[in-house]
Structure 1
Amino acid sequence: MTIEGGDPVLRKMKHVDSLMLIHRLAQQQFVRKPVRVFGLKVMDKHVGVAISDLDTLRAKSYCVLETKDSNILAQSFQRLMRKESVEGLVVGQPYPEGAKNPQDPNANLVEKFVEDLSKTGKLNDVPYTLWDDSWAVLELMECLFLPFRMDPLMKRRMMHRACTRGATEVLQDYLHKVGKSVNLRRRR
């Protein structure tokens, strides 16, 4: 947070168009070492994280982070982004942009998640884009769990796996559809 004229000014994460994010990545890859992007699947208590390869062609599951404390989550993202040379985020959105269903319990989840991360001030200027996340594997997994008694640890592992898989699907779909429009430098 910076002070301008005595009033606090909250700097936020930068929402960019999906094509703009991939163009930025392409420019950075041209100028310096290859960079990566994180794909995020936002859930009520967890965030599934996927990571692109160095050529930004393929996505793979990476980890699951808890969303309890925004500051801790933002610090985790800072550390992971530095470690993996990540320069942007693709955040899964459970509905097409502009077509939010107010009855959907996840309708405000992504907006609140991004807003909470922005408020920490730790991810200022991190570009992110929203991408269609209509992949319903998590809802299917939850429906499968309801009628059965299951070891809580096994259930948690399965949900984490489904959460990272959801993030991987979001990121892979983004890389496939948007990456075609930009000629990214390929490492040999």
Structure 2
Amino acid sequence: MRYVKPLSLFQDVLMAHTKKKGRLLGLDVGDKYVGLAVSDSSNKVASPLSVLLRKKTNIDLMATDLQSLVSEFSLLGFVVGVPLDRFRSPNRDAVQMKVFIDELSKTGKLEGVCYTYWEETFTSKNVELLLQPLTLHSVVAKTIMDKFAAMGILQGYLDYANKKQRSESSE
């Protein structure tokens, strides 16, 4: 896996898009779960996908699952949510998320996949507030929250990148 700047990832996807359709995967990395969301083929709309159980002992299995998703959805890159504190600096959770990405990279199973970071502040909180009136079982609510948080991360990224792309095209 290789880190690229946010707009570079989108430009790479657009360039590859002329040859083949490519999509993006949003990741909301938590202590216990990793929420996943996928973009549509035009990279304009994000949809919740699933949740992976995260343990220190299953990083190889998670890499295999992500490798399968790369193939199944023609993924060209990952958009990984990074939490920021009130001073807009990465917080403690951001350090753990970066460790997770490093561990995934070390498996060697995701060679050629690019990733970038995107701010995820309040994505989980927003979903939590939406789910509050539904009185769901805590495990179900957590699963829904994680994949919808991933969707919020990816949709925020897609909205920004598409807007930036349109403004550069009109100049």
Normalising by structure 2, what TM-score? 0.85
Match of 2:9 in 1: 21
SS at match of 2:89: coil
Please report how far the alpha carbon of residue 57 of structure 1 lies from its aligned counterpart in structure 2 after TM superposition: 0.2
Asked if 1:124 corresponds to 2:111, the answer is: yes
Identity of aligned residues (%): 31
Please report how far the alpha carbon of residue 112 of structure 1 lies from its aligned counterpart in structure 2 after TM superposition: 1.0
Asked if 1:112 corresponds to 2:99, the answer is: yes
Asked whether the equivalents of residues 57 and 179 of structure 1 are also in contact (C-alpha less than 8 Å), the reply is yes
Aligned counterpart for 2:81 among listed residues 74, 84, 92 = 92
Aligned counterpart for 2:34 among listed residues 32, 41, 47 = 47
Asked whether the equivalents of residues 127 and 145 of structure 2 are also in contact (C-alpha less than 8 Å), the reply is no
Give the 3 Å change call, closer, same or farther, for CA 63–178 of structure 1 in structure 2.
Answer: same
Match of 2:150 in 1: 167
C-alpha distance in structure 1 between counterparts of 2:126 and 2:39, whole Å: 25
Which segment is superposed worse, 107-116 or 35-44? 107-116
C-alpha distance in structure 2 between counterparts of 1:75 and 1:136, whole Å: 27
SS at match of 1:44: coil
**Structure 1 segments (4+ residues) deviating >2 Å:** 136-141
Output one character per residue of 1:78-97: Cα deviation in whole Å (capped at 9) or x when no partner: 0011011111000000017x
Unmatched segments (≥5 aa) in structure 1:
1-12, 184-188
Report how many aligned residue pairs link the two structures.
160
Asked if 1:182 corresponds to 2:165, the answer is: yes
Give the 3 Å change call, closer, same or farther, for CA 84–158 of structure 1 in structure 2.
Answer: same
Match of 1:7 in 2: none
Asked whether the equivalents of residues 34 and 54 of structure 2 are also in contact (C-alpha less than 8 Å), the reply is yes
C-alpha distance in structure 2 between counterparts of 1:75 and 1:65, whole Å: 11
C-alpha distance in structure 2 between counterparts of 1:170 and 1:107, whole Å: 14
Between Structure 1 and Structure 2, the one with more helix by share is 2
SS at match of 2:118: strand
Match of 2:169 in 1: none
Match of 1:135 in 2: 122
Unmatched segments (≥5 aa) in structure 2:
167-171
Normalising by structure 1, what TM-score? 0.78
